[in-house]
A and B are shown apart, each in its own frame.
Chain A
Amino acid sequence: MSNFSLSSRSEQDIAVIMPKGYINTIGAERLELTSEELIGRGSKKLIVNFSDVQFINTIGLSIFLSIVQNMLESHSQLCFTNMKKDHREMFEMAGLIKHVKVFKDEKDAFNYLNGDINHAQQ
């Protein structure tokens, strides 16, 4: 049985993906496919909320790498929120953090993406 699931929603032009559980097998590629679908539907702003993510390994990192690459190629904006310390350190180590904006929670990410920079705390 897979320990990974995800949900997504769109609010105006901002899409939010909430992965859940373990991102450590190629089964989690759904994350990449979902982000591609959302971009394909015209979302140029994507938030990934990490609050329900329990574990990420290098396979998970590879999947996020593709998401970041796709966002860069499509000139879209990507925000990560609710990251645990060890997840953030892993992304830093892989050199991914410099390509995304990291926020404490979704509210700050929405403020940033809606142009309300004064109320967004990275």
Chain B
Amino acid sequence: MRNNKLDLKRLMFSIASLVDLGQEATSAKDLSAKMKSALYVITGTFSVPKAALFIYHPLHRSLELLADKGYRGSALQEIKLSVLPRHIKQFQGNEPHSVQGMAGSSFYERNGQILLKLQTKLFIPLFAKDEFVGAIALGKKIGREAFRQNEKDILRVVAHQMAITLHNVALFKELSRKVAENKRLYESMRRIYHDTVQAFSAAIDAKDGYTKDHSYRVACYAVVIARELGWKKEDVEGIYVAGLLHDIGKIIIDTKVIQKGESLTSLEKIEINKHPQVSYDILSKINFPWKNIERFVLHHHERLDGKGYPDALQSTELSDGEKILSLVDAFDAMTTDRPYRSKLGLDEVFHEVFKCGGTQFDEKITNIFFNLLLREMSGEVKDPQIIPHLRGNGTEASLPKWAWEASGAPGASNRNKS
């Protein structure tokens, strides 16, 4: 009767130990803490003060220390057990091997000194799905009792669970390595993409000395507005690329026509007005990692009143991205010298853009852009993104009060500029 009660208690204790081990093996702790906790569960369950857990490295053909308990100092840090494929074949899966019984084996000949140093009594190879993943070296029990048969049975179950945990760790490590590698490849591709796009952009702008860096500035201004609108990082990157490539269709247009300016014949106008469609045709063949690039480019000469080209879209048919490109393209054209006129002063640009608000340009987009520009001019913005491109356009001068008020900039009504 007493023996039955004791057996039942032992069984309950074993179940509690397996529950503890399961909790530790599946915890969110980092690998080292998780394995240390699992080893503590094992040493607590089997009353073994000294134990070590090893993970198998197939490339090194060695068992390397993952966690240990009961050994003082750092003497164990460099410990490795040499394991050859024929040793693995000789191991019986997850079966506790008495070290005494292993004496004379090739594995013991190679590793006997280390096993003695660890005071190992039982060596338990860990197999998950027939794959050798590690081993546990258990020292003697406190009080030097021998391991009972039922303890060895439980050890097999524990070993199986530890093997699965190590196997999952190895899979996770491999997965993490591949994810990191893919991330590196993606970053490298992204850089190549950007370099290629920049090169295209430079080629477009090189057709006309007057429009040098036009695409780059358009891209920078578009980014400023997109950020102010709270766009996601990848969408901001997308409109930057759209800005760089919006005039790519000009590549097929005769340079003389591009440089001719305002005195274009009707045929030349038709010719130059083809460039958004040509840009679209070129870019739509590219599978960009960013959304809507070809659409933004196609419609960067559309107007809210439906008098733009190539599709004469109405305000409601245009997205914010298209409205942004339309504004910043015109803004850069007005603030740079052209063959047929000198660049305009900023007060003139303000006047022109606000005059066209609601017909050519979207007022929400315009207000955001000019609001930021005014804040940059007044020194409120630490890292200005617009005015570095506008030197010589009157950014150093005060702007008329109406410009501040029209932009809706904070504190506009208190500014005493006239």
Chain A 60-95 interface mask (CB, 8 Å, partner B; 1/0): 111101101100100000000000000001100111
Q: A66-B70, A93-B13 known; A59 and B142 CB under 8 Å?
A: no
Task: Decide: B13 and A90 in contact? CB cutoff 8 A.
Answer: yes
Interface pair A69/B44, CB less than 8 Å apart: no
- Whether a CB of chain B sits under 8 angstroms from the CB of A120 is no
Q: Are B143 and A59 in contact (CB under 8 A)?
A: no
| A99-B142, A99-B143 given; A66·B41 CB < 8 A | no
* CB-CB nearest in chain B for A68: B142
Q: Are A62's CB and B40's CB within 8 A? A: yes
Which chain B residues border A98 with CB–CB below 8 Å? Answer: 143
A25 within 8 A of B: yes
List, in ascending order, chain A residues with CB within 8 A of B17's CB: 58
Within the assembled complex, what's the spacing in Å between the Cα atoms of A62 and B141? 12
Interface residues in B43-63 by Cβ distance below 8 A to A read: 43-45, 47-49
Mask of A91-114 contacts with B, CB within 8 angstroms, 1/0: 001111011000000000000000
Question: Are B143 and A62 interface neighbours, CB within 8 A?
Answer: no
Q: Which of A58, A69, A89 contacts B41 (CB under 8 A)?
A: A58
Asked if B383 lies at the interface with its beta carbon under 8 angstroms from chain A, I say no
- Known interface pairs A58-B17, A59-B41, A59-B44; A95-B49 also in contact (CB < 8 Å): no
Chain A residues near B141 (CB, 8 Å)?
Answer: 95
B9 at the interface (CB under 8 A from A): yes
CB–CB A62/B20 < 8 A: no
> Quick check: A66 and B16 within 8 Å, CB to CB?
no
Contacts A26-B36, A99-B142; A65 near B43 (Cβ below 8 A): yes
**Distance (Å) between the CB of B30 and the closest chain A CB?**
12
B10 at the interface (CB under 8 A from A): yes
Known A63-B40, A93-B9, A95-B142: A58·B16 in contact at CB below 8 Å: yes
The contact string, 1 if C-beta is below 8 Å from chain A, for chain B 3-43, is 00000011001001100110010000000010011001101
Contact of B20 among A58, A65, A94 (CB under 8 A): A58
How many of chain B's residues touch chain A, expressed as a range?
20 to 34
How far is the CB of A96 from the nearest CB of chain B, in Å? 7
B145 at the interface (CB under 8 A from A): yes
Q: Is the CB of B142 within 8 A of A57?
A: no
How many Å lie between the Cα of A65 and that of B141 in the bound state? Answer: 10
Interface of A is mostly: helix
In the complex, which residues of chain B have a beta carbon less than 8 angstroms from the beta carbon of A95?
Answer: 47, 141-143, 145
CB <8 Å contact, B47 and A96: yes
- A65 engages B9 (CB within 8 Å): no
Docked complex Cα distance between A63 and B33 (Å) = 15
Which chain B residues border A62 with CB–CB below 8 Å?
40-41, 43-44, 69
Given A58-B17, A59-B40, A93-B9, answer yes or no on A65-B45 (Cβ-Cβ < 8 Å).
no
Within 8 A of B (CB), among A23-72: 24-26, 57-63, 65-66, 68-69, 72
Q: Give the contacting residue for B142; candidates A26, A90, A93, A96; CB below 8 A.
A: A96
Closest B residue by C-beta to A58 = B44
Q: Which residue of B lies closest to A67 (CB)?
A: B49
Q: In the complex the two chains form, is B143's CB within 8 Å of A58's CB?
A: no
B residues in contact with A99, CB < 8 Å: 142-143
CB-based nearest A residue for B143 = A95
Q: When the two chains form their complex, are residues B33 and A65 in contact, meaning their CB atoms are under 8 A apart? A: no
Write the nearest CB–CB distance from A81 to chain B, whole angstroms. Answer: 21
Complex CA gap A84/B217 in Å reads: 77
Q: Which residue of B lies closest to A91 (CB)?
A: B47
A26 to B285, CA, bound (A): 59
Tell me the complex Cα distance, A30–B49, Å. Answer: 17
B residues adjacent to A (C-beta < 8 A): 9-10, 13, 16-17, 20-21, 24, 33, 36-37, 40-41, 43-45, 47-49, 69-70, 141-143, 145
Contact residues of A with B, CB < 8 Å? 24-26, 57-63, 65-66, 68-69, 72, 89-90, 93-96, 98-99
**Additional A-B contacts beyond A59-B44, A63-B40 (16; CB < 8 A):** A26-B40, A57-B20, A58-B21, A59-B41, A61-B45, A62-B40, A62-B41, A62-B43, A62-B69, A65-B43, A66-B69, A94-B45, A95-B142, A95-B145, A96-B47, A99-B142
The 9 residue pairs across chains A and B that have the minimum distance between CB atoms: A62-B44, A58-B44, A61-B44, A69-B49, A62-B40, A59-B40, A62-B43, A58-B41, A93-B13
Identify 13 residue pairs between A and B in the complex whose beta-carbon atoms are under 8 Å apart, listed by A's number: A58-B17, A58-B41, A59-B41, A62-B44, A63-B40, A66-B49, A66-B70, A68-B142, A69-B142, A95-B142, A95-B143, A96-B47, A96-B142
